[in-house]
Chain A
Amino acid sequence: MNMTRYPLYLLLLAAVLAAGCVRTDDQLKPSPAESRSITTIIKNNYAFSLFYQALQRTGLDRLLDTAAGPFTLLAPDNDAFSLAGITADSLSRVDTATLGPWIRYHVILQNVPSASIPQTIDFTYPTLAGKPVYFSQALPIPGQHQNPSPGHLVIHVDGVGITKADIFAANGVIYDMVKPLTYPSYATVKDFLEHTSRYSKLTQALRQFGLLDKLAQPGPFVLLAPDNDVFDAHGIDDATLATMDSTHYKGMLFTTNIMTPNFFFVTDLADAPAPAGPLLNIPLYPTPDGMLTIGTSGIALLPFNYPELNYAGENIYIYGEQADITDPDHLTGNGLVQGIDAFIVLPDNVKK
């Protein structure tokens, strides 16, 4: 063997050893990028046939393919339309002037994968319709180990759940919605009331008590709204209502129904529950006249001394009834109307 080669072998060995010792981080292969566009994915999936039909009628299918993205599409599938009582026939009968803003309200003007959403409630994102949608991601509560927990992503958009998040496309992301969103066509809570016949008596009552115009102010408001059936059940017809004089009642009648500055969808009560108050294990909301207990299990107005009354075995529901939210989440430009099925303050109980 040629002795002069030893140094070369040694150098080669050193280089191999040195190279072997250099540590570099393992590189994960990037997942292959989705090459199909949002429109292509929706078009090719029969489960979204109704929504694709609506996209076509409003021209949004072409817009989503040609306009500069990225977009986030909040896409209700056919089951979602069915859940909302909308069939292919009824959807085809909606005129395009109404359909346009409604469907555009399902398009967010940026890429919003679920991991990018702040862990809070009612975080706004602008939509193609010009009005924002509200994303709520469930907050951790005591005993909840990891949130969102694997496989149980808890996200609501305008109080509507998500069947599947993060369907990635070349120009954005798709969320499969449990129900179609409702387009907030009214600028204020007052507008909503004045154009919704089932709340005509409440509207008249608020007008007579000088509260209706307040609901056109910036807010935000949550109006706990008993519908006409509640008034009828207590024998308050239009004639009786017309005779109700605000000076004959304590101020808490109807003012307790207006929560401000507040803004919540019904699902927010579970996604971000307020700490429970004493005795009833229900969150409390202070009003000038009593404690509103408000949770997923119902709403009631209790006197401030309700714990003492309860310990004494006395009735704590001295102002009105326990109400449930039966007509939820009517979003307007300055708040929400939550329809309830009872008077939380009965007029007869607060007569002067």
Chain B
Amino acid sequence: MKRTIYLFALLAAALSEGCRKYAELTPIDHPAYMRVFNDLPNTTTALNNGQALPFLTFIMDPQMDASGAPAGGAIVGDYMATRQLFSLSYPINEANSSVGVTFNAGIGNTQPSTYLFPLNFEYPGNAHVPAAPAINGFDLSAWAQVTSGRHRILFVSRPENGIAFNNLSQTIRSQVLIDTTVDLDAGEVYTLEAVSRDMSKPDYGLYFRHEAFTHESFEDDKLYVGFVNLSEKPSQLVRDGFAPAFPDRIAISYTYNIQNDSRSTGSTNTFYYPLPGYDNINYTTLITKMDTAIPYLSLPLLPNGYFFQADTLRTYGGINNTGSLPFVSFTFQDADNPGTPFLQLACAQNPATFNNFDNPLFTTANNTLPNLNLIVNISGQYHIYPTLNIMELVDNRVYLMQVQKGFNTLPKQ
């Protein structure tokens, strides 16, 4: 009998050993937290063959082959397309495939397109890696754990096809755009972005931001918005006024809009009044580029009553309207040539559909972003969460990174 037990134990051991399919991830001691974007807005053209194809492979701590070309590394973020205009602090596409992504590439597209090669809009994105914990009340699960310390960072321009980086030719793997070194401290949060510095010639660099919001104190009932200008040195076409791009000095003002229910008669015939004290208020003038310290504008988190009409949640904006939910709008002007706003941006859209269907690069809604109030349905009840928002201005685009505040508590009603 005893022998039979031993045999079954042996059998169980053999079975469990034979069936182990994947190695467990090794926990990272004292990790830092990192998120990587590709911010490159332009591509090479026949009339400006200075720029590279903005489709990248991100490599941390690369290993080089005999020819000196990178051939893998400690972390490889492959198929990195130019980032989406809106990104959250948690990976909304977690476990989704990188293939068959529906996305609008830019101006000229009239319908969402499905890409047949893998496409990632950030690292880690949907990669299966350990993520950052909640820090300072922020959900940071879109940041990956990485070993702290000094790391070499490469960005390589790669073709848009389905060939994994390591299988690309040595010629292609040698197309290194950015080669730099960063120091990551344990427990700190970093955002890395591949940026172009000049529209007219190949001049690329890493925008490396040590996120300070994990150390700052924020009020529970406030929305926060910060701005940074990551635009390139403009080309002659921009200087001559034939192509749009943010000016070097940007004056920013804002208005908090509340729907005037008595005057509004439909989704396309809406009127708004400004929240008292928040009517076209001058906020700041951005006079430098590539700033890594971001001051935040605070705005009130309105009571729940503003978001409902007869117990029904008000609506987000659509293609040609800004909906009935409260929303903040920003006006961007050239501080050196005031009078005509460069961009009036209404933060009124639905975050769930914005990247795929409301892409402002091509639709008529070319001056909108998702609402700064994050509306989450928990157990059948809507909750309005405050957020911290970082708007990164790149040429003619505004990339919004929205970080949910106090995700582990229910917001005050």
A interface, CB within 8 angstroms of B? 6-7, 10-11, 13-15, 17-23, 112-113, 115-122, 137, 139-148, 262-264, 268-269, 271-275, 277-278, 283-286, 291, 294, 304
Contacts and interface: CB of A to CB of B under 8 A. Distances in A.
B169 A115 contact: yes
Most buried by B among A14, A119, A137, A140: A119
Most buried by B among A120, A141, A285, A294: A120
Given A142-B107, A274-B48, A304-B240, A119 B53 contact: yes
A120 B52 contact: yes
Given A116-B169, A137-B159, A278-B242, A18 B15 contact: yes
Interface string B156-185: 011111010000111110010000000000
A119 B169 CA distance: 12
Contacts of A121: 44, 46, 49
A264 B105 contact: no
Interface of B: 3-4, 7-8, 10-11, 14-15, 17-19, 21, 43-49, 52-53, 55, 104-110, 113-117, 157-161, 163, 168-172, 175, 235-237, 240, 242-243, 362
B47 A283 contact: yes
Contact of A145 (B46, B106, B115): B115
B45 A272 contact: yes
A21 B159 contact: no
B53 A120 contact: yes
Given A142-B106, A142-B108, A264-B46, A21 B18 contact: yes
A262 B46 CA distance: 8
Contacts of B116: 145-146
Contact of A13 (B11, B168, B236, B240): B11
Contact of B44 (A115, A272, A278): A272
Contact of A10 (B7, B49, B115, B172): B7
14 contacts: A14-B14, A22-B18, A116-B170, A118-B172, A120-B53, A121-B46, A142-B105, A142-B109, A143-B105, A148-B161, A264-B47, A273-B45, A278-B242, A286-B235
Nearest to B6: A7
A271 B44 CA distance: 10
Contacts of A291: 240, 242
Nearest to A8: B7
B15 A145 contact: no
A29 B309 CA distance: 65
Contacts, number: 144
B121 to A, nearest CB: 16
A283 B45 contact: yes
B50 to A, nearest CB: 9
Contacts of A13: 11
By Cβ-Cβ distance, the 7 closest A-B pairs, closest first, are: A116-B169, A18-B18, A119-B159, A268-B46, A274-B45, A21-B18, A142-B108
Contacts of B105: 140, 142-144
A140 B113 CA distance: 13
Given A14-B14, A140-B160, A142-B105, A274 B53 contact: no
Given A143-B108, A146-B160, A18 B17 contact: yes
Contacts of A18: 14-15, 17-19
A277 B108 contact: no
Nearest to A270: B46
B171 A118 contact: yes
Given A21-B19, A285-B47, A117 B242 contact: no
Most buried by A among B14, B19, B105, B236: B14
A286 B242 contact: yes
Most buried by B among A15, A137, A139, A283: A139
Nearest to A137: B159
A65 B108 CA distance: 50
A285 to B, nearest CB: 5
Contacts of B48: 274
Which secondary structure dominates chain A's binding surface?
Answer: loop
Nearest to A259: B47
Nearest to A307: B242
Given A20-B18, A142-B109, 12 more contacts: A113-B169, A115-B168, A116-B170, A119-B158, A121-B49, A146-B115, A146-B117, A263-B49, A272-B43, A277-B243, A284-B237, A294-B47
B7 A23 contact: no
A121 B53 CA distance: 10
Most buried by A among B11, B46, B53, B362: B46
Contacts of B106: 142
A140 to B, nearest CB: 5
B11 A14 contact: yes
A112 B105 CA distance: 30
B47 A139 contact: no
Contacts of B3: 7
Nearest to A276: B108
A286 B242 CA distance: 9
B11 A143 contact: no
A320 B172 CA distance: 43
A273 B4 CA distance: 76
Contacts of A275: 45, 107, 243
A11 B19 CA distance: 16
Contacts of B49: 120-122, 262-264, 268, 272
A262 to B, nearest CB: 7
A243 B243 CA distance: 41
Nearest to A116: B169
A314 to B, nearest CB: 19
A220 B18 CA distance: 63
Contacts of B104: 142
A21 B11 CA distance: 13
Contact of A271 (B21, B46, B175, B243): B46
Nearest to B170: A116
A294 B158 CA distance: 28
Given A139-B44, A140-B105, A143-B109, A21 B242 contact: no
A116 B172 contact: yes
A237 to B, nearest CB: 34
A163 B56 CA distance: 30
A11 B7 contact: yes
Nearest to B19: A21
Contacts of B43: 139-140, 272
B267 to A, nearest CB: 29
Given A14-B11, A286-B236, A147 B160 contact: yes
A306 B105 CA distance: 29
Contacts of B15: 14, 17-18, 21
A120 B158 CA distance: 10
Given A7-B3, A17-B15, A142-B109, A274 B160 contact: no
B46 A274 contact: yes
A284 B46 CA distance: 11
